[in-house]
Amino acid sequence: MAKIHPTAIVEDGAQLGADVEIGPMAHVGPDVRLGDGVRVAQGAIVDGHTTIGAMCQIFPYACIGMKTQDLKYKDGSVSYVEIGERTVIREFATVHLGTADGEKTVIGSDCLFMCYCHAAHGVILGNHCICSNSVQLAGDVHLEDYAIIGGCSASHQFCTVGCHAMVGGMTKIRQDVPPYMLCDMVEGAMKVIGVNVVGLTRRGFKREAIQALKEAHRFLYRDGLNRTQALERVENDVEQTEEVKRLVAFYRHSQRGVA
C-alpha cells in the first residue's frame, strides 16, 4: 500500500506500485507510473508521461517529466520519460520529456544522477551510469553502460560517451568519447588520455583485454598515425578481443567524430 503524505498531490490517473512513498509537498501527475518501492521525497515533481522503475529514489526538489526546453516542441505532442530500476535522482536534478511525438528521454537501471544534473530531450543513459554534480546533457546525448561523467561537465547535443568510459570534471564534451577510455580537458580541449584501467579492473575485465586496449590506444593516439592508419594497425596488430572490436566499431560509426 502506498504511503502518501497529506500535503502531497497525487493526481487522478497516476499509477502507484506497492510500497510507494510520496513525501510532503511532492507532486505526481496523472500520466505517471511509479514502480514498486519508489520513493519520491519532499517537493519533488514527477509529471508528464513518465514511468519510473521499481526501487528508484527521487530526492527533494528533483523535477522529472516536465515539458522540454527545445523550441521545436509543439503543444499537444506526447513524449515520454522512462527511468529503469534502482536508479537514484538527487536533489534539484531535471529530466525533461522528448520533443517530437513518441520521443523518449531514458535513464537506465542502477544509475546515479547527482544534484543539479540535467538530461534534455531525447537523452539516453544506459545502465550503471554516473553523472556527478551539475553535469549538463544537451538533447540527444547518449551515455552507454557504465559511463561516468565528472562534475560540472557539459555535453554538446548528439554526442555519445562509450561504455566504461570516464570523463573528468569540468570537461566540454564536443565529440564522441570512445569506450573504455579516460577523457579530460588538456590545454583547453577535450583529450583522450589513456585507458580507464582502474574502472575496468574494478569491473572484472581480464588483464589481456586491458592490455589489448592499451595497445589500441597507442596506435590511435601516440604513434603519430592518422585515424585510418591507426584503425588498420589496431585491426591487424592487436589481439581482437570483444573490447577491441567494439572500440573499432565505435570509431567507424561515430557521427560527430571521436575525441
pLDDT tens-digit map of 142-163: 999 999 999 999 999 999 999 9
Q: Which residues pair with 161 in a beta bridge?
A: 143, 177
Question: Do residues 29 and 12 lie in contact, with contact meaning Cβ atoms separated by under 8 Å?
Answer: no
Residue 33 covered by a domain: yes
Which pLDDT score, from 0 to 100, does residue 106 have?
98
Residue 98 covered by a domain: yes
Secondary structure of residue 198 in the 3-state scheme: helix
Which pLDDT score, from 0 to 100, does residue 177 have?
98
Question: Do residues 105 and 122 lie in contact, with contact meaning Cβ atoms separated by under 8 Å?
Answer: yes
CATH code for the domain in which residue 117 is found: 2.160.10.10
- Statement to judge: residues 129 and 239 lie in one domain: no
Secondary structure of residue 250 in the 3-state scheme: helix
Domain closes at, from 125, 140, 155: 140
Residue 102 covered by a domain: yes
Q: Which segments of the chain have a pLDDT < 70?
A: none
Domain closes at, from 120, 140, 160: 140
Global pTM value? 0.96
What are the backbone angles phi and psi of residue 234, rounded to the nearest 5°?
Answer: -60, -45
Quote the longest CA-to-CA distance of the chain.
Answer: 66
- Statement to judge: residues 9 and 128 lie in one domain: yes
Which range of residues forms the domain containing residue 59?
A: 3-140
Structural domains in the chain (count): 2
Residue 26 covered by a domain: yes
Which pLDDT score, from 0 to 100, does residue 1 have?
83
Give the number of residues written for the chain: 259
